[in-house]
């Protein structure tokens, strides 16, 4: 292929890479933030059963404490019972013990319900934990990949920039300015491949005679539709 065209193709590769790195630099941080947000929402949702479980655990130990207090109170009442002087006082104390026993019964019933619910919840909490662990692993892998990519962008960008600076020294000034003009008018693409008589930039057909010429001529030819500098590339053969 013509030397000037080869230079332009290389230059185009540099420019396309630079545009790509520029856009990655802008969108990757957003993508990373969205990934974090998605994980935290998922985590919060999956931890709902665990929150209920912990609340019940607290209620369980509160109930156990209540029983302990009731029992202690009853021991004291029973001690006082031994020192009682009259029947009225004796009856009042028996009533006190009866009330304490009744409320202990209520708390015990409550504890049985709590334990039952804790058993059921435990199954869900375990399941949720497995789900969350799997999701976390996947999230961390994705995050690491994105961060590595983000961290290498500056180095990659500088490398392609350096390559571009070296290249433009070899391209004649008038050709370079023609390329820049076309590129600026055509979404950053000034040089484009053509295969099977179709321009890969604008996807329009190249007239047969021009297509013929493109495959033989040493001239730099432009696509009649998008005006980009064309080169013939057989897409079925590896470059
Ligand atoms: Zn075109």
Cα 36 to averaged position of ligand 1 atoms, centre (Å):
42
Band (pLDDT 50/70/90 cuts) for residue 31 is: very high
Cα 194 to averaged position of ligand 1 atoms, centre (Å):
8
Q: What is the pLDDT of residue 107?
A: 97
Q: Which of 153, 127, 157, 129 lies closest to 18, judged by CA?
A: 157
Cα 193 to averaged position of ligand 1 atoms, centre (Å):
9
Cα 223 to averaged position of ligand 1 atoms, centre (Å):
5
Instruction: Give percent of the chain with pLDDT exceeding 90.
Output: 91
Q: What is the pLDDT of residue 134?
A: 97
Q: What's the CA gap between 226 and 141, in Å, rounded? A: 43
Q: What is the rounded average pLDDT of the residues 11-38? A: 96
Band (pLDDT 50/70/90 cuts) for residue 2 is: confident
* b/e per residue 106-139 (b: at least 16 CB within 10 A): ebeebbeebeeebeebeeebeebeeebeeeeeeb
Cα 222 to averaged position of ligand 1 atoms, centre (Å):
8
Q: Report if pTM > 0.75.
A: no
Cα 200 to averaged position of ligand 1 atoms, centre (Å):
7
What confidence tens digit (pLDDT) does each residue in 211-235 have? Answer: 999 998 878 999 999 999 999 998 8
Q: What is the rounded average pLDDT of the residues 107-117? A: 98
Q: What is the CA radius of gyration of the chain?
A: 40
Domains of the chain: 26-168 (1.10.287.1490), 173-232 (no CATH)
Q: Which of 50, 41, 43, 54 lies closest to 126, judged by CA?
A: 50
Cα 172 to averaged position of ligand 1 atoms, centre (Å):
23
Q: What's the CA gap between 218 and 198, in Å, rounded? A: 19
């Amino acid at each position: 292929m013509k030397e000037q065209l080869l230079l332009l193709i290389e230059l185009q590769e540099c420019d396309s890479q630079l545009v790509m790195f520029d856009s990655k630099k802008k969108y990757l941080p957003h993508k990373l933030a969205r990934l974090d947000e998605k994980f935290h929402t998922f985590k919060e949702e999956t931890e709902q059963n665990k929150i209920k479980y912990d609340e019940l655990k607290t209620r369980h130990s509160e109930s156990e404490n209540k029983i302990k207090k009731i029992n202690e109170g009853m021991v004291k009442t029973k001690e006082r019972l031994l020192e009682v002087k009259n029947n009225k006082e004796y009856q009042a104390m028996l009533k006190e013990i009866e009330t304490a026993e009744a409320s202990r019964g209520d708390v015990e019933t409550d504890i049985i319900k709590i334990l039952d619910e804790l058993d059921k919840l435990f199954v869900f909490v375990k399941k949720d934990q497995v789900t969350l662990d799997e999701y976390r692993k996947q999230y961390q892998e994705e995050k690491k990949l994105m961060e590595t990519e983000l961290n290498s962008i500056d180095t990659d960008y500088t490398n392609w920039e350096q390559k571009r600076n070296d290249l433009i020294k070899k391209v004649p000034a008038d050709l370079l300015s023609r390329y820049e003009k076309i590129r600026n008018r055509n979404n950053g693409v000034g040089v484009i491949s053509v295969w099977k008589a179709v321009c890969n930039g604008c996807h329009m057909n190249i007239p047969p005679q021009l297509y013929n010429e493109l495959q033989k001529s040493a001239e730099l030819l432009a696509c009649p539709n998008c005006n980009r500098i064309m080169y013939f590339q057989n897409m079925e053969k590896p470059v």
